[in-house]
Amino acid sequence: MNKIIGILAGSLRKESFSKKIGNTLIAMAPQGFEFKIISLDDLPIYNQDFDDDNQVPVTYTTFRKEVQAVDGVIFITPEYNRSVPAVLKNALDVGSRPYGHNVWDSKPGAVISNSPGNLSGFGANHHLRQSLVFLNVPVMQQPEIYIAKSNELFDENGELKSEGTKEFLHKAVDAYIAWFNKNVS
């Protein structure tokens, strides 16, 4: 049976470069793996009352089940004010509760950060890693995956036109799969 890797992009924007990177990865899944987008588009901001009062939005339940069903997770984060965009942090929070039911627990992960700027979302990349430590997501250390100039990489159909970036992403995916296979018995 195929291993399934969830891909989560930290942006709600229609033309999001993070979403485009995620869509590009789908075709890079090697034999024995399937890459699946897990959308964050409909997740309300986490409110603990929902769990405490047993009034959990359907979107939370669907999202938690989707994450539970995957074998690993690849996060693609833009950077907002040198940190993780609220939409992605919110997704981590929703999946981490109710207490004792953290759906991220032990899912081997990878972090890809990106930005139109040269710093490539470095701040977001490492803030995200901080939360993932607490959520018990082992994250691939190397290669670190930073994508700069995200606004120059795609054509008008949203296809990755930069061959260099395609090759880099392929190598990163190959490294993640090798690392995943080592970490999952």
Ligand X SMILES: Cc1cc2nc3c(=O)[nH]c(=O)nc-3n(C[C@H](O)[C@H](O)[C@H](O)COP(=O)(O)O)c2cc1C
Place of tokens 């990865």: 25
- How far, in Å, CA of 76 to CA of 141, rounded? 15
DSSP string, 68-80: HH-SEEEEEE--B
Minimum separation from the CB atom of position 172 to ligand X (A):
17
**Complex with ligand X: residue 50 or 80, whichever CB lies closer:** 80
Cα-trace Rg, the chain: 16
Residue 16 within binding range of ligand X, rule CB under 6 A: yes
Indicate whether 6 belongs to the interface with ligand X (CB under 6 A).
no
Instruction: Give the whole-angstrom CA distance, residue 88 versus residue 10.
Output: 5
Q: Which of residues 117-136 bind ligand X (CB under 6 A)?
A: 117, 119, 121
Apex 167 CA angle, 164 and 171, nearest 5: 140
**Partner residues linked to 110 by β-bridges:** 74
5 touches 36 (CB < 8 A): yes
State yes or no: residue 17 binds ligand X (CB under 6 A). yes
Q: Is 165 in the site for ligand X (CB under 6 A)?
A: no
Q: Specify the residue, 7 or 103, whose C-beta has the smaller distance to ligand X.
A: 7
Rounded least distance, CB 58 to ligand X, Å: 26
Sign (positive/negative) of CA torsion 93, 16, 7, 139?
A: negative
**Of positions 3, 38, 72, 79, contacts ligand X by CB under 6 A:** 79
Interface residue with ligand X among 7, 8, 11, 147 (CB under 6 A) is: 11
Q: Which stretch binds ligand X (CB under 6 A): 60-68, 76-84, 93-101, 155-163?
A: 76-84
25-33, 89-97, 111-119, 169-177 -> range binding ligand X (CB under 6 A): 111-119
